[in-house]
């Protein structure tokens, strides 16, 4: 009799699962709530990043615009809008992106072509202007690569060890996008996209030998492009690489930015000079609010402050990957890990650039570097991870 009652009446656990399966295909899927630790880590980084962006930018903002808070006001607006977008996206059922992945990939190709057609005042074609806002086509391209490879890897997971379904799709997408990015030129994005492609293919189950063969093909392509002059812009950026502290008249201007970055890091010492007390941001370090903002962080907050911030970044990436691994489907796992890995890759490469371990290729620091479109895109991507966290909390 007791067994019949169990079969007749639903237990609380079975009822909860039935409600979940009824809701899983809805467009807006609330689930069991977003992951609070991940959300708090994002907000902490965003607040610290905005404060440091203002501290690093007010001298150059006053010099260029006679308004010390010029960059702060714009970044704060984008940050508030971005948080709203992040929360809204977290209610979106990320599984719907499965069907949109091919469309998003097509849009990314179109944006990379359009940005080359639009006239530019400089020799760099990276932004599509919409009013007073410039959207970087490369930001769309990075997201499209992660999304499509997550879709492909989950759809053909059992076949990813073959050359046809494993190596070729990723290699074709990367090479075609890299070819367009060369003409912008935007070599830092090419490097990030290459690493993201390798990460996505690896977690999708591709054989290591296909990764090695793909790497050899890309190396040969790089040597060919460098020898034919296609990478002249990148080769110019490599002038003075590793020589920042070796001052000569020949490399004076080639190493100017990296040299002042190292000066800032060194002068910060263990405890830092104090918030707002940086000296290198007073027109010594070019563009301190952008790619080299972490050098100002080191100068003002010292080694201790820099380590704490890097630990928060590490916790964010770890939490994002942990949540993604608990997702209820392979697509959620691959997509969440890819979006989380992008943050980790950009942080590591930014640190390498400001310390002269890599050539100065213009890699922004997530949540810190000034830039409205990149911040909006980043927070929207974090909203997708939060959407994945809702199902992860259910499957916990």
Q: What is the pLDDT of residues 86-123, one digit of tens each?
A: 999 999 899 999 899 999 999 999 999 988 888 765 66
Token pair for 119: 């006239």
Q: Cα(51)–Cα(72) distance, rounded to whole angstroms?
A: 8
Is the pLDDT at 14 greater than 60? The verdict is no
Query: Tokens 């002042």 correspond to what residue?
Result: 260
Is the pLDDT at 286 greater than 80? The verdict is yes
Residue 28 DSSP symbol: B
pLDDT value at residue 58: 93
- The residue ranking higher by pLDDT, 281 or 31, is 281
Q: Cα(146)–Cα(164) distance, rounded to whole angstroms?
A: 19
What residues are paired with 283 via a beta bridge? none
Query: Tokens 């007749």 correspond to what residue?
Result: 8
> 349: exposed, middle or buried (C-beta count within 10 Å: 0-12, 13-18, 19+)?
buried
Is the pLDDT at 161 greater than 90? The verdict is no
- The radius of gyration computed from the CA coordinates of the chain, to the nearest angstrom, equals 23
Token pair for 263: 């000066």
Q: How far is CA 389 from the centre of its chain?
A: 19
């Amino acid at each position: 009799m007791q067994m019949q009652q169990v079969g007749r009446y639903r237990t609380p656990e079975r009822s909860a699962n039935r409600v979940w399966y009824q809701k899983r295909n809805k467009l807006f899927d609330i689930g069991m709530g977003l992951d609070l630790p991940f959300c708090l880590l994002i907000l902490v980084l965003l607040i610290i990043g905005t404060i440091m962006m203002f501290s690093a930018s007010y001298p150059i903002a006053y010099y260029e615009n006679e308004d010390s808070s010029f960059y702060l006001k714009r970044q704060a607006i984008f940050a508030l809008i971005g948080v709203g977008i992040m929360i809204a996206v977290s209610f979106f059922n990320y599984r719907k992106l499965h069907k949109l992945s091919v469309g998003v990939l097509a849009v990314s190709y179109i944006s990379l072509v359009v940005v080359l057609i639009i006239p530019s005042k400089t020799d760099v074609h990276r932004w599509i202007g919409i009013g007073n806002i410039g959207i970087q086509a490369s930001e769309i391209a990075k997201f499209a690569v992660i999304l499509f490879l997550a879709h492909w890897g989950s759809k053909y997971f059992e076949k990813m060890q073959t050359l046809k379904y494993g190596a070729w799709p990723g290699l074709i997408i990367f090479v075609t996008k890299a070819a367009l990015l060369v003409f912008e030129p935007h070599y830092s994005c090419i490097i990030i996209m290459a690493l993201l492609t390798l990460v996505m293919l690896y977690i999708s189950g591709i054989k290591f030998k296909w990764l090695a063969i793909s790497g050899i093909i890309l190396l040969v392509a790089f040597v060919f492009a460098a020898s034919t002059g296609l990478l002249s812009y990148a080769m110019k950026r490599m002038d003075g690489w590793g020589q920042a502290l070796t001052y000569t008249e020949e490399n004076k201007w080639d190493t100017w930015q990296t040299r002042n970055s190292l000066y800032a890091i060194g002068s910060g010492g263990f405890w830092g000079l104090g918030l707002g007390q940086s000296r290198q941001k007073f027109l010594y370090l070019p563009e301190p609010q952008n790619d080299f903002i972490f050098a100002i962080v080191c100068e003002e907050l010292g080694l201790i402050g820099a380590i704490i911030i890097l630990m928060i970044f590490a916790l964010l990436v770890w939490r994002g990957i942990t949540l993604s691994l608990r997702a209820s489907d392979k697509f959620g796992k691959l997509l969440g890990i890819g979006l989380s890995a992008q943050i980790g890759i950009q942080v590591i490469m930014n640190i390498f650039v400001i310390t002269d371990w890599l050539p100065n290729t213009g890699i922004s620091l997530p949540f810190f570097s000034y830039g409205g479109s990149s911040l909006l895109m980043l927070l929207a991507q974090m909203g997708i991870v939060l959407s994945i966290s809702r199902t992860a909390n259910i499957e916990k």
